[in-house]
């Protein structure tokens, strides 16, 4: 069985790639150096040549609140192109199984908690990341359409906020978790007395270690077969202020944290209902404290 992992050098893709290799699977990784998924003809040729049995699509243009809000065209247009090119190529090559990885940002801003899969498109999106969310919703719909029109056994998975080694720590584009690690570790190293963070710190988020996501994705690829997308998460959340306090503590920073309430908070709360996932027999293994410590160690070892 040949498996293609698109986006295999990113945070999510690399974790999936590593687990597959450790299990002795025949796995091929794609990044922009191997084949540019924005190029439709090149994508079709690559998939036709490799003839995989399974494609796991973790390739995407991603970022935090600031990047989502500033680069709306890129986040919408390029993500649409990537996923459409890859799915269409998979269909032409008669790929049996396809796993599309979306994002929990597809759900409405004011959504009942915990968020069930059925809550998709029941209200307005969070405005700061609506362009990216619409691209991912389109991916979910395309998977459903391939299932209905061509009887494809393809599925969509919606991960919560993922973190871990090999994340992007660029403060201009990163998500909240790696941004906090960067700010606190850098502040400690420079001897800064204060760290300033966006928003109020009150929003609550759920965080999933990349290795836990990888095992969930592989389990779903084997056991899940439905046109309803599947939530992937822990089912537990904490406030950004609580997360910041943990990162501050484990980084060794002893200064003051200031919250800039003029900056956006984003969605007030986002925790997923993962009952369907856990019914498949999956449980997360990495605690939030252990995950923070590991991510800090990775950042300290790989960044100045």
132 is a catalytic site residue? yes
pLDDT over 70 at 286, yes or no: yes
Choosing from 8, 132, 146, 163, the catalytic residue is: 132
CATH code: domain of residue 195: 3.90.25.10
Alpha-carbon gap, residue 186 to 157, rounded angstroms: 34
Tell me the C-alpha distance between 233 and 209, whole Å.
9
CATH at 69: 3.40.50.720
d(CA 71, CA 63): 9
As given in the structure block, the two tokens for residue 141 are: 């719909």
Reported confidence tier of residue 188, pLDDT bands at 50, 70, 90: very high
Tens-place pLDDT, residues 83-104: 999 999 999 999 999 999 999 9
Candidate from 80-84, 152-156, 165-169, 189-193 with smallest mean pLDDT: 165-169
**For residue range 103-148, what is the model confidence (pLDDT) as tens digits?**
999 999 999 999 999 999 999 999 888 999 999 999 999 999 999 9
Has residue 225 got a pLDDT over 70?
yes
How many CA atoms lie less than 13 Å away from 202 in the CB half-sphere? 9
Residue 170 located in a structural domain: no
- Shared domain for 77 and 150, answered yes or no, is yes
Specify the pLDDT at position 67. Answer: 67
DSSP annotation of 199? S
State how far the Cα of 148 lies from the Cα of 161, in Å rounded to an integer: 30
The count of structural domains within the chain is: 2
Residue 263 lies in a domain: yes
Tell me the pLDDT band of 222, cut-offs 50, 70 and 90: very high
Residue 201: CB partners within 8 Å, gap ≥ 6? 239, 240, 241, 244, 259
In a domain, 40, yes or no: yes
Q: At 133, list the tokens.
A: 């969310």
Instruction: Read off the pLDDT of each residue in 223-244 and give the average, rounded to a whole number.
Output: 97
Record the pTM: 0.93
Q: How far is CA 228 from CA 75, 177, 210, 231, in A?
A: 24, 29, 23, 10
Q: Which tens digits make up the pLDDT trace of 36-69?
A: 999 999 999 999 999 999 999 999 987 766 666 6
106 and 255 share one domain:
no
Domain carrying residue 39:
2-165+206-236+270-287
Give a yes or no: residue 21 inside a domain. Answer: yes
Q: In this structure, how many other beta carbons lie within 10 angstroms of the beta carbon of residue 111?
A: 21
- Which pLDDT value is given to residue 173? 79
């Amino acid at each position: 069985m040949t498996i293609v992992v698109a986006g295999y050098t990113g945070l999510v893709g690399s974790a999936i790639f590593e687990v597959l290799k450790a299990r002795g699977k025949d796995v091929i990784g794609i990044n922009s150096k191997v084949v540019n998924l924005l190029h439709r003809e090149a994508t079709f040729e690559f998939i036709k040549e490799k003839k995989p049995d399974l494609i796991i699509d973790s390739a995407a243009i991603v970022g935090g609140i600031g990047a989502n809000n500033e680069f709306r065209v890129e986040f919408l247009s390029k993500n649409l192109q990537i996923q459409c090119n890859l799915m269409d190529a998979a269909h032409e090559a008669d790929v049996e199984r396809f796993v599309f990885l979306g994002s929990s940002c597809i759900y409405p801003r004011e959504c009942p908690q915990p968020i069930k899969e059925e809550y998709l498109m029941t209200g307005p999106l969070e405005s700061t990341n609506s362009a990216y969310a619409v691209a991912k919703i389109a991916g979910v719909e395309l998977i459903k359409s391939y299932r209905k029109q061509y009887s494809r056994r393809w599925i969509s998975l919606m991960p919560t906020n993922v973190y871990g080694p090999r994340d992007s720590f660029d403060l201009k584009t990163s998500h909240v978790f790696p941004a906090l690690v960067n700010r606190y570790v850098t502040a400690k190293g420079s001897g800064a007395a204060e760290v300033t963070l966006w928003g109020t710190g009150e929003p609550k988020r759920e965080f999933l270690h990349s290795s836990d996501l990888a095992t969930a994705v592989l389990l779903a690829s084997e056991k899940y077969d439905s046109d309803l997308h599947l939530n992937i998460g822990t089912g537990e959340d904490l406030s950004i202020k609580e997360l910041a306090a943990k990162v501050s503590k484990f980084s060794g920073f002893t200064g003051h944290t200031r919250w800039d309430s003029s900056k956006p908070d984003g969605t007030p709360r986002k925790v997923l209902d993962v009952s369907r996932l856990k019914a498949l027999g999956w449980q997360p293994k990495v605690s939030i404290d252990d995950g923070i410590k590991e991510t800090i160690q990775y950042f300290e070892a790989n960044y100045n």
